[in-house]
Amino acid sequence: MAIEIIMPKMGESITEGTIIEWKKAIGDEIKKDETILEISTDKVDSEVPSPASGVLINIIANKNDTVDVGTVIGYIGDSDEKDSFSIEDVESSKQESNVESVNIEQNKVKEVTESILTNKDIKKNSKRFYSPLVRSIAKRESIDNQELELIKGTGRGGRVNKADILGYINQKRTSVDYSIETPKPNVIETPKISDLTSQVQEMDNVRKRISEHMIHSQKTSAHVYSTVEIDMTNLLKVKNEYAEKYYQKHSIKLTVTSLIIDACIKALHDFPLLNTSIDGTNIIYHKNINMGVAVALEDNNLIVPVIKSSEELNLIGICRSLEELSSKARNKQLSLEQVQGSTFTITNPGVFGGLMGIPIINQPNVGILSIGKIQKKPIVKETEFGDSIFIRSMMYATLGYDHRLIDGAYGTKFLSLLSQIIESYNAKVEK
């Protein structure tokens, strides 16, 4: 008997997923728990393991299809079932799945009715169900229910999904009123993109989410920046002295990033406003420091795994967590829990040669630290014999912060303390 492959639920707020790639083709043999496809949700990409051993006998949802959680997307069976598995069987299964989905949606509607009725943006007589994600986007873009009802839904039963509402918003932004003819300026017209010999490629799902997240952050936070130059000489000395010992004893890498994270955690203890979030006019003080660390992926995308309760970890724990999360990020093995809940973020363009960076705040954080390239410079220092020139390893550190809450004095004082902690690094690290 054929076994269903179901679109999994990756989190409480996740209602749909997009198929990035099927790792197996129809007719391929599959072992249980072997990766069968890769999906993308609003939060994270994930590999889906096979529910059973057998042969992939049918694929219902194809690459780039967005389907609801719980939907049948394929079948696994015996090799002799491949040829006998007909389209009629698939359609029959789809119909059964639709009936089940209707019941599920009815239950969902019942569960959220109370909250929907209290939402001023949602009418009481609305006949369509809107997922929490769609309602959140609508609220953010000031789309009331009357306007929401006009959006054509391509989901099951005419439901409006994420792609539908984002397409509608994009159409609104790019639309032009031609009712009034405006005079054209006397300038030389530049060639249209369509006139050029260019390749057009759609963004992948990760890039789309990054784009949406960055635009949302720019609209939400009042970005302002402060920069300091930090003497990294002592920190590098500690790193070079203990790196081999750490690897031999703990099988982990002692890196500059892990040492900076450790220093940043210490500085945040004295500047708690940078470890908060803003909810309207309320300030949310977080009990723990959940340190988000930006990780560059091989496909030129970016993801931010989170070291939870980082203030409770010693340097060994920070190193181990950073190494584990970075590895999972590059192998697309991060869980939804591991990319949510950050309270502060560190990004490191310096590892790629960047002198400094001007980062965009990772919502809902109010602060993000960008660390640049470490390079040797001649530095003038005062000594008992007068001014002297020394060769020191220097690095620019830039703090991006939300001016709705953090002022320049507070942000700069944080950087000054961070500089003091880093510059005073000595051999007192955990062995």
Distance CA 281, CA 52 (A): 51
Q: How far apart are CA 415 and CA 94, in angstroms?
A: 58
Whether 407 sits among the annotated catalytic residues: the reply is yes
Edge-to-edge strands of the sheet including 45-49?
45-49, 35-40, 16-22, 66-68
Q: What is the maximum span of the chain, computed from C-alpha positions, in angstroms?
A: 92
Beta strand spans in 10-59 (E): 16-22, 29-30, 35-40, 45-49, 54-59
Instruction: Say whether 262 is catalytic.
Output: no
Cα separation of 108 and 69, whole Å?
Answer: 13
Question: Which among 28, 33, 299, 407 is annotated as catalytic?
Answer: 407
- Which DSSP string corresponds to 192-253? PGGGS-----PPPHHHHHHHHHHHHHHHHS-EEEEEEEEE-HHHHHHHHHHHHHHHHHHS--
Q: Which of 216, 223, 250, 403 is catalytic?
A: 403
> What is the spatial distance between Cα 183 and Cα 345, in angstroms, rounded to a whole number?
48
ω before 359 within 30° of 0 (cis)?
no
What is the chain's alpha carbon radius of gyration, rounded to the nearest angstrom? 26
Classify strands 223-231 and 386-402 as parallel, antiparallel or unpaired. antiparallel
SS3 410: helix
Which residues are identified as catalytic? 403, 407
